[in-house]
Chain A
């Protein structure tokens, strides 16, 4: 079997996979590890797509110059879009990490404000007793 026959099928599979997993990602309401897993899966799919896409480029031949230019433009656009998706995924992963750090900060704030107020409440009780 020729490789060129397989490429279109693989392309469709990887594209469908990545879009499905991103759709599933946005369907989850609450923030948890499942979402992260879906992002990683989407990343795998887009990466596979990228590899296949490069492969199709390598198997190109017998084109006139004009055709060649159009094909190049097409490849450029698709590459841009797919890299954009990967960028989005990586950014999401970073944002999730950052929001976790923010959570730690606000947790520490709550503890500090509660801790600092303990003594003042004890003083209040003390003064009332007098």
Chain B
């Protein structure tokens, strides 16, 4: 009898400890957002997974009918590199209907054909370039989630921050900046991409 009580209570205690230790406990700050994640510069893989998961979550929410309106992705990067291409492709494959990319004037030479095929295949991807390489890089997922990269030169690996359910005010600042920057950029068709300036390795 006592043995039963002991084993049941220990089972309960273990359950409670597991609940406590493994509870979802993200960083929170009301001025910034509900779930703030810091990625160190050596955590490239984590960054990718975080964004991929976010895209999948948004798609699931949309297909369950919780979202009204279409999914939107806004991206500002230094150059439309391989990493960004993968994120964009993933988003395009997951019901994102409007994808806007703004990048600096140059790309890496070997990426040009990749970008061509990407623009060729996904017509909802719009590609713009700026006369100057942007120093601030960020992504806005469906006007609710934000991903900000630490300011950097393009040769460096860098840290970044992801925010789920971003604070409205903060997001507004970024949205406004995106709109502003968009007005200085010019659209690029897939044919133009093949003649875009590029960095020689």
Contacts and interface: CB of A to CB of B under 8 A. Distances in A.
Interface of A: 33, 36-37, 40, 100, 103-104, 106-108, 110-111, 113-115, 117-119, 121-122, 124-126, 128-129
Chain B, interface residues (CB within 8 Å), range: 20 to 34
18 contacts: A33-B22, A37-B17, A40-B17, A40-B21, A107-B161, A108-B36, A110-B159, A111-B161, A111-B170, A113-B150, A113-B151, A114-B149, A115-B170, A115-B174, A118-B174, A125-B130, A126-B184, A128-B132
B177 A119 contact: yes
B184 A125 contact: yes
Contacts of B130: 125
A33 B23 CA distance: 9
B151 A114 contact: yes
- Majority SS at the chain B contact face: mixed
Nearest to B166: A111
A125 B174 contact: no
A114 B163 CA distance: 14
Contacts of B37: 107
Contacts of B18: 37
* The 9 residue pairs across chains A and B that have the minimum distance between CB atoms: A107-B38, A118-B177, A104-B27, A125-B184, A107-B161, A103-B38, A37-B21, A114-B148, A110-B161
Contacts of A107: 27, 32, 36-38, 161
- SS of A interface (majority): helix
B138 interface: yes
A108 B29 contact: yes
B151 A33 contact: no
Contact of B135 (A36, A100, A117): A117
A117 B151 CA distance: 9
Contacts of A36: 21
A103 B39 CA distance: 9
Contacts of B159: 110
Contact of A111 (B22, B32, B134): B32
Contacts of B149: 114
B180 interface: yes
Contact of B180 (A100, A117, A122): A122
B47 to A, nearest CB: 13
A121 B21 contact: no
B154 interface: no
A33 to B, nearest CB: 5
A125 B131 contact: yes
Contacts of A33: 21-22
Interface in B114-130: 130
B160 interface: yes
